[in-house]
Amino acid sequence: NNTNNNDDDDGERQYSNPSCPSTPSSTSSSNSNTALELPHQHPPSHINTSYSPDQNQQHCKKVQFRSKLLRYSGMFGMTFLNPACCTFAMVYASPSILAPFSGLTLVWIVLFSEMLIDEKPSRVQLGAAALIVLGQVIVAIWGDHRNDNDISKEDVIKSYLNLDFILFFILLSIWMIFLIVMIHKGSSVMRRFAWGVSGGSITGLQNFLKDFLTVLHSAKVENTQLPVLLLFLFWLCGALSAFGGLLFLTACMKRYDATYSACMFVVSFVISASIMAAVHYDTFSNLEKTINYVMYPVGLCTLILGALILVREVSTDEVDVDYMVFREFEGEESDESSRGSPCRRGLNFDMKMPLVNIHKEACDRLS
């Protein structure tokens, strides 16, 4: 329904509440049965309408400080603590058995996300996270427990010339190109999926770190000179894959909630590391019993099921943004060519922007 345009000569919209210039006038046509409720009418959680301007400013500074503290703590954990612990663990186990333990990330997210970042996981997300953790436990129990610390430097170099491993890298490159294309040109569901799995897909290249430690151990046991160039190459590739995955994860968390981002990162990481281990370390030939051949794929399928549930879930924020964009803001009826399009008369948004940016831009334009 069209709203009446009770505008002044200067074209500015009238507002019913002078103390809140972002609230549009409630005047509407007589045949309007439902009041137009815009997302900008609900102030952000860090704004308390009962505070004075000075109190609000102080409160916002505290929120910003907490936000920066959490962000830098997370960056420190992901860039220093996590690699250090992974390096220590890789000495004793293979990537195929260590990757599933990243599922503990989901436990901490579910336990503390509401307390720290005011994001309460939904029941669907909790169920999907439980499936993912279950799948990771199955993979960890019935996966490959072999550790290749006893092979030589020559064996490590030869493994990288294996045709299967070269094909794996080619397919992984094609997969990453596909995800990047989906991020820029895909539908909302595909874009959500691409952001979620891109970081874990790169981080799954744990072979560089493992082979770095293997070559280091081999040189120490054989009492030979360290191959500095080879070690540097392994270290550089491992650092780039880990840091690249971290950048994708950070970008995903800017657009979607922490539970979804962490779940999809962990799922893609486990699957990528498992495929890599199967090709590079010949995981399936090292499984001990028939039950291992059955339960290991079952665990991976359980992981994928949890990921599919998360991808298909439509978050409330996305629905609100679509509702906000597909409404008439200027009180004018849009023409037929623009009907149903996000580029309607009034406010146009880049739907690839983070939700918080869309909300801020809408408030700025409407005020």
pLDDT of residue 326: 40
- Joined tokens for residue 301: 């399928």
- The count of other CB atoms within 10 Å of the CB of residue 15 is 16
- With contact defined as beta carbons under 8 Å apart, do 195 and 172 qualify? no
CA atoms within 13 A on the CB side of 359: 15
Task: Say yes or no to pLDDT of 158 above 90.
Answer: no
Q: What is the per-residue pLDDT across 67-98, written as a single tens digit (0 to 9) for each? A: 788 778 877 877 778 777 877 777 777 776 77
Burial of 193 (0-12, 13-18, 19+ CB in 10 A): buried
Q: Which among 200, 202, 196 has a CA at the least distance from the CA of 241? A: 202
Read off the amino acid at residue 314.
Answer: V
Q: What is the per-residue pLDDT across 183-194, written as a single tens digit (0 to 9) for each? A: 998 888 888 889
- Answering whether pTM is above 0.85, one says no
Q: What is the per-residue pLDDT across 292-316, written as a single tens digit (0 to 9) for each? A: 888 888 888 887 788 778 767 644 4
Burial of 224 (0-12, 13-18, 19+ CB in 10 A): exposed
Q: Which among 194, 160, 202 has a CA at the least distance from the CA of 178? A: 194
Read off the amino acid at residue 265.
Answer: F
Q: What is the per-residue pLDDT across 230-281, written as a single tens digit (0 to 9) for each? A: 889 998 998 888 888 888 988 888 888 777 888 788 888 888 888 888 888 7
- With contact defined as beta carbons under 8 Å apart, do 292 and 330 qualify? no
pLDDT of residue 356: 52
CA atoms within 13 A on the CB side of 253: 19
- Joined tokens for residue 325: 């964009």
